Amino acid sequence: MLRRNAATAGFALALALVATPALAQAGPDDAFTPGKAGAGDTTAALYTEAKAMAAKAPAPAPGLVNALVRDLGIDAGQARTRLVNEAAAAKVEPVLAARLGERFGGAWVAGPTAELVVATSDSTKVSAILKTGAQAKVVRHSLATLDAAKGALDAKAEGSPRSIASWYVDVQDNSVVVLARDTAEAQAFVDASGADASLVRVRQTAEQPQPFYDVRGGDAYYMGGRCSVGFSVTKAGSQGGFVTAGHCGDVGTATQGHNRVAQGTFRGSSFPGNDYAWVEVNSQWTPTGVVNAYNSGILPVRGSTQRAVGSSICRAGSTTGYHCGTISQHNTSVTYPEGTISGVTRTSVCAEPGDSGGSYISGDQAQGVTSGGSGNCSSGGTTYHQPVNEILSAYGLTLATDGGTEPPPPTGCTGYARTLSGSATSSGQNLYSSGFTAGSGTHRLCLDGPNGTDFDLYLQKQSGSSWVNVASGTSSGPDESFTYNGTSGTYRVRIHAYSGTGAFTVGVTTP
């Protein structure tokens, strides 16, 4: 599932926190030799390059742009720029978080065009952040410190008073916020939890969150009541199906589709604590990588990269159709009458009963499934979604993307003219082959990475004193493959260890 272009060599140089060792030769007959990044590397800032790459993505669907204009009060140009910047921020944020480590204070996007802001608790890191093209903000507390305080509240969730609506880390405010109808009760809960009270702010709210009870993402399905489809998925050895909210059904519950035709069965469900489930469909139904955005058309799903706080996000559901808002906070704990749900995302998008389980999507990236909230789509409200990547991981599912399900990864890079091998020793590391000359025609590349990691594969072409990415494979797994039809010139291979470490093999066939 295509989801991002990884960090550039320029970023590794700018922060000076990682090395960039070369790939080792796989054997004596290998045409590639080890090579350092060297002076020929591009020095483009990470966020600046990420925005340039995001701008090359397919144009957003007109229905998405129109919905953002309607719901966010911005014009069409701002909406398009916002989508590019949000996609870039989603690629950059985890890399910066890894580089800054315990000094990372969180990140968000701000303004009508969603420019990236990165916080740090160490003022000496401001210059490095600014070099990436992002804005910098010095804060008192690191994100790790705030997460620890929230964790203390989570540990006491079963004893939380019903007057508490939710609690979360507010990265923009650099604090943990507890929203409650009775602030005295909430303060007593905080004091008894063992959390550092100096990090926690209790705020009055009228919110009373509840689950929204009453294959394309957003379509209705029935199981005694009515909920909405989240996203289509596949699973080895099954017909595939879709993810949805856990409160919509228990394991074994039968479902009917939007047309009341027998559809499938809940194969997994978790609620409360979590709020996710997956339904396996029967042979009459085919999972497709799209979302029904109702009056805004059919929208493609192309991946599941989590967007930053402040990013635009839209929701599709069978009661209210398609509405947009922004991401308020990640990793929120929300209290329903049935119990507390942890790890959900809080948004400003409206929803109503029957929308539960439906799709939350940012650009073309799946974000989560509707859990619950307060308010409605007449007066506005606050909603919460269960992140989709957690559901995929919990049940061993694969997101279905536009044009079909994601192709299976390569099982070893055999049948290529040359092979390279190397080893990544730290997450975020970039590794390079030496340059090689190739004629005009088709390049074939394959990456076989270590299981459980996320490695990305790039083909770069020399342009003057710089190297330019001309093709890439950037799924969320360890293995990649692609073909590229290019002109003659000097090329090299770049590997980015987005997350994880270990040995890998690259197969290359050149024209």
In degrees and rounded to multiples of 5, residue 367 shows phi and psi of -115, -45
CA distances from 118 to 14, 83, 127 (A): 16, 18, 12
Burial of 92 (0-12, 13-18, 19+ CB in 10 A): buried
Ordered DSSP codes for 373-430: EEEETTTEEEEEEEEHHHHHHHHT-EEEETTEEPPPPPSS--S-SEEEEEEE-STT-E
374 DSSP β-pair partners: 382
What does the alpha-carbon distance between residue 291 and residue 300 come to, in Å, rounded to a whole number?
A: 6
- Cα–Cα distances in angstroms (integers) from residue 256 to residues 249, 278, 317, 393, 402, in the given order: 12, 14, 16, 25, 24
> How far is Cα 250 from Cα 119, in angstroms, rounded to an integer?
41
> Please, are residues 230 and 269 in contact by the beta-carbon 8 Å criterion?
no
Catalytic residues, by residue number, are 247, 275, 356
State phi, psi for 414 to the nearest 5 degrees: -105, 155
CA 327 → CA 2, 104, 493, distances in Å? 22, 20, 36
Selection from 384, 327, 328 nearest residue 355 by Cα: 384
List, as one string, the DSSP characters of 288-343.
Answer: -SEEE-GGG-EEE--B-PPPPBT-EEEEEETTTEEEEEEEEEEEEEEEETTEEEEE
Q: For residues 511 and 495, what is the distance between their CA atoms, to the nearest angstrom?
A: 21
Coil vs helix vs strand at 157? helix
